[in-house]
Structure 1
Amino acid sequence: MANGRVRVSREWQKIIERHNSARIKLTTSRLVDFGSIIHRNRALVRYVWLCLELQEYDCTECAPKRQEPISDTDNIMITTAFQDLFSTLSAWEPNGNLLLDISVHSPSDSEHWFKYLTFEPNIPTEECEQG
């Protein structure tokens, strides 16, 4: 370790970067710097999962009489996330296949509507690393 940094051989660095960059999970906080963080390893990215988490709600809000499906805050968050993601992706040069997965959920969903539904990627890690 030098200057508080761990040194990794170039050979191992390539293997680790290929594995870490193949499959990217983006949340709203990670999306802000996504373009600059992945810039150097963009060619290694095979799968991007945009995972947006809405505000929690209670039973009075999930009742059938509710007119608005999501709050203004959540609507702005979703719109901004899509704009940020597609703005970043539009600057990428085509380079093989890229799979985009998008999920939008609230932690409250499992308490009110979707008791057994989980939000995980549908593609095995091994598939992302092939390329």
Structure 2
Amino acid sequence: MKKACVIFAACLLYTAVTAIKKKTNPTFTQKEKAVQSATDIELQNWLKGKVWTADDGMAPMSLLKLKSDGSYELKTSKKPDTWQIIEGKIALARLTEWPQKKIDDTTFRLYVKPTDKWYTYKQTSTL
């Protein structure tokens, strides 16, 4: 009986030590960088160099300037950052990726996941 208790305690101690090692030394997997498709590049070329304004005042970005050099500006922030179209989504640096759909030559819709709502943006000028 003592032998069984010693073996059980040793197994328990080993399991605890391995669990602690896993917590202190996490392994990180590097996410592969997504590649732009021909459709993404075509859509990016259509969007760039234009100022887009949301129809709805509750849109997360009421004014969006997508510049030709790959930078963008928001109404709330004048600090330029980069943007791209990846897998049909507008990927803004330091922000999430926003699924979008082209409606016509001057309009597109942007989907916001947390609110589960589509917002319409219209071209108001060119840069």
Q: 1 or 2 for the larger relative contact order (CA 8 Å, sep ≥6)?
A: 1
TM-score by length of 2: 0.23
Greater helix share, 1 or 2?
A: 1
Larger radius of gyration between Structure 1 and Structure 2 = 2
